[in-house]
Amino acid sequence: SSDLTQDPAVSVALGQTVRITCQGDSLRSYYASWYQQKPGQAPVLVISGNNNRPSGIPDRISGSTSGNTASLTITGAQAEDEADYYCLSRDRRGNPWVFGGGTKLTVL
């Protein structure tokens, strides 16, 4: 089981806004990073640290943190955003790093 909790599945209509959340005590001490994984491909970093986007990641993707919850927001979702999304954080208990269980995003 994961110490970071994500909703298993979320759907969004094309062009609408969707928020994917990641909840866990470690997020009170460390920032989450977010990864997008499409079928048959390796994970790709989309948000690092305090809402930083690597080059090549569209600005419709953003991140935020409040308390023990990190959020990934896609504003104006596109078909190519359909993927699995994972959060990652350091942890002071148990394993030093932990992934969320992942959220499957469907764009309708």
Partner 1 sequence: QAQLVESGGGVVQPGRSLRLSCAASGFTFSVYAMHWVRQAPGKGLEWVAVISYDGSKNYCGDSVRGRFTVSRDNSKNTLYLEMNSLRAEDTALYYCAREITLTTEPRESWFDPWGQGTLVTVSS
Alpha-carbon gap, residue 27 to 70, rounded angstroms? 7
Quote the strand ranges of 1-108, DSSP E.
Answer: 9-12, 18-23, 33-37, 44-47, 61-66, 69-74, 83-90, 97-99, 103-107
Closest approach of Cβ 43 to partner 1, in Å? 5
Q: Which residues bind partner 1 (CB under 8 A)?
A: 2, 29-31, 33, 35, 37, 42-45, 48-50, 52, 54, 84, 86, 88, 90, 94-102
Closest approach of Cβ 35 to partner 1, in Å? 8
Closest approach of Cβ 17 to partner 1, in Å? 24
| DSSP state for residue 68 in the 8-state scheme | T
Alpha-carbon gap, residue 35 to 72, rounded angstroms? 10
Closest approach of Cβ 18 to partner 1, in Å? 19
Which residue, 48 or 75, is less far from partner 1 as judged by CB? 48
| Structure token digits, residue 105 | 């995003």
Residue 36's beta-bridge partner residues? 44, 85
Which residue, 74 or 99, is less far from partner 1 as judged by CB? 99
Which residue, 14 or 101, is less far from partner 1 as judged by CB? 101
Which residue, 13 or 102, is less far from partner 1 as judged by CB? 102
